[in-house]
Amino acid sequence: MVALTGIAVAVGDGPVARAVSHPAQSTRLQRDVDAIHRLGLSGAQARLVTADGRQYVATSGVADVTTKRPVPANGHFRVASTGKALIATVALQLVGEHRLSLDDTVEHWLPGVVRGNGNDGNRITVRELLQHTSGIHDDFPDFTTSAADFYQHRHDIYTPQQIVARAMRHQPDFAPGTGWGYCTTGYLLMDMIIEKVTGHSWYDEVSRRIVKPLGLSQTSWPGFSPTMPQPYAHAYQPLGADGQVDVTDHVVIDPEGAIISTTRDVNRFFRALLGGQLLRPAQLAEMTRTVPISRELEQILPGARYGLGLFQRPLPCGGTYWSHPGGDEGYITDDGVTADGRRSVVLSVSSDLGDFARQQAAADTLVGDALCGSANRG
């Protein structure tokens, strides 16, 4: 890649790429990444891929607030809830193979797991897990009230079964299928169902079905390891009165949220998914059949609806795009791909502002500008 005023521009994504001109869209990408950094965030990187395969990479800020080294253009990060799109893809592939049905109940695959306090696995379907309409109440440990709390618990390990058991201590937020509530516990149950159906771990299936076929060589799953592969930007998060703390070194409780990737690989995944390379037409149609989200989240994601592992969101230039953002301690991911899979953008920010709505609005501006460039330039 050839660096052009802080922007790398290339055709292809290999180690050697042919330099291309420096169009207005790359300037706009850099402007939007700089604006995100100016919010008070330590660093950000974004990669836009156009319909003709050109890639534009913009970075801003630092990867380490102590050494002041710059954000790497190919830096690794934890994808957090973006991993839900991969889990949903595997589940729908199994549906296409007639090994799983969206109408199967949780009880059918995981007898006795969802039970107690009004929770009933006989009433919850696979579709409802994937669409966040199960009503299951999330109860994840939170050790982010102070730096001392974080350092004491950052290497604690929880199994999916333990997290599901925590959720079962609560009554459902609503009856299955009657509301919408974002529920990571539902995706942990989906991980467990994938393992029951296939006889393999959920990540083995993600790797076999998505990572290896697409050549996502920069994507990995660390299990319970708290470390990151090089290169990466350190992750920072405000922890109470302690302010911004380096939270890079910790064990991620949400299994698929621990997946590590890069903007190159996440772009490639979303383009393949919406481009029809990973799912049969019937299953892609199921994935993109949406329902309204909660009023609370809709205030932060205006106009958004949810399919099976994907958000549908309106574009400022008209039409819609598909996305699944994610946020782990410090690492915040946003992304977007056009409905035909031909134009996409991925943003990774390595710190948390502590003002989710403001940070999301800046990310929305970047995604909208990047995807709407296709209206005039292809």
Q: Which of 42, 60, 81, 351 is catalytic?
A: 81
CA distance 35 to 353: 13
Strand partners, 2: 9
Q: What are phi and psi of 210, to 5 degrees?
A: -125, -55
Q: Which residues contact 55 (CB under 8 A, 6 or more apart)?
A: 8, 9, 10, 11, 12, 13, 17, 47, 48, 49, 264, 267
Q: If you write DSSP's letter for every residue of 106-127 in order, what string do you get? A: HHHHSTTTSEETTEETTS-BHH
Cα(first)–Cα(last) distance of the chain, in Å? 21
Cα dihedral 15/16/18/24 (nearest 10): 30
Separation of alpha carbons 222 and 311, rounded Å: 26
How far out from the chain centre does Cα 34 lie? 22
Cβ contact 155:223 at 8 Å: no
Residue located via tokens 């974002």? 182
Q: Are 356 and 4 in contact (CB under 8 A)?
A: no
Residue 353 to residue 331: CA distance in whole angstroms: 11
Report the alpha-carbon distance of residue 371 to residue 223 in Å, rounded: 34
As a three-state string, the secondary structure of 303-359 is CCEECCCCEEEECCCCCEEEECCEECCCCEEEEEEECCCCCEEEEEECECCCCHHHH
Distance CA 5, CA 2 (A): 10
Catalytic site includes residue 81: yes
Phi, psi (rounded to 5 degrees) for 59 = -130, 155
Catalytic residues: 81
